[in-house]
Amino acid sequence: MSSNWNPKDHLPQDVQQSMVNANDPLAFYQIISRLKIQKRTGWLDHDINDCESIADHMYRMSIMSMLIKDPQVNKDKCVRIALVHDMAESLVGDITPFDPVTKEEKHRREWDTIQFLCNEFIQHYNKDAAKEIMDDWSAYEHVGSLEARYVKDIDKYEMLVQCFEYEKRLNDSTKLKQFWSAVNSVKTQEIQSWVQKLLKAREEFFQA
């Protein structure tokens, strides 16, 4: 059962279809702007109004990716995947498990959006770039590579580091407790070792 949701209907006001120009990626960059403006819903839903943007989250994920030690990992590939993995949220928004949208519908909207962005906005300017972004986004969605697996884990870890920062700001270890269940979905040994040290730092902070 699919809805009528269509990425075209969710373009920012200042991005007109007329702006789609074979020689100008400006319209695409103006869509990306939404990732800078939109705040992460998980925090807003918990009354943390002065919180990070979606772009802020992906930014720190990309820096974390640069520090992976596992010699089997192509770190530059992880950096790219971290930067594109939430790109569809520029038009879809940041849907959480608590929103009245099924997981399947969320996935469909994001898939339609990334195709829309790549085919209608990037491809005309740079065909290779459109394919690379599509490939990196798909790799993440399907956990189709070791690099995608690491970025999945870093997505959780970055969120937990941020969660701890907000808990310290609130001086409250209970309000955001539900986020910590993500600990269990971190699969790689290296990122799980980061998580364990984060848990220890948090325990020490709230015991002091």
Residue with tokens 């990070």: 52
| Complex with its own copies: residue 109 or 194, whichever CB lies closer | 194
| Complex with its own copies: residue 95 or 134, whichever CB lies closer | 134
| Complex with its own copies: residue 10 or 39, whichever CB lies closer | 39
Which parts of this chain interact with its own copies (CB under 8 A)? 14, 19, 21, 23-26, 28-30, 32-33, 35-36, 52-53, 55-56, 58-60, 62-64, 66-69, 75-76, 79-80, 83-84, 87, 122, 125-126, 129, 132-133, 158, 161-162, 165, 168, 193-194, 197-198, 201
Q: How far is the CB of 88 from its own copies (least distance, A)?
A: 13
Residue 87 contacts residue 114 (beta carbons within 8 Å): yes
- Which residues lie across from 24 on neighbouring strands? 21
Measured between alpha carbons, how far is 195 from 138 in angstroms, rounded to an integer? Answer: 26
Residue 11 contacts residue 120 (beta carbons within 8 Å): no
Does the CA dihedral 98-103-105-108 come out positive or negative?
Answer: positive
| Complex with its own copies: residue 74 or 144, whichever CB lies closer | 74
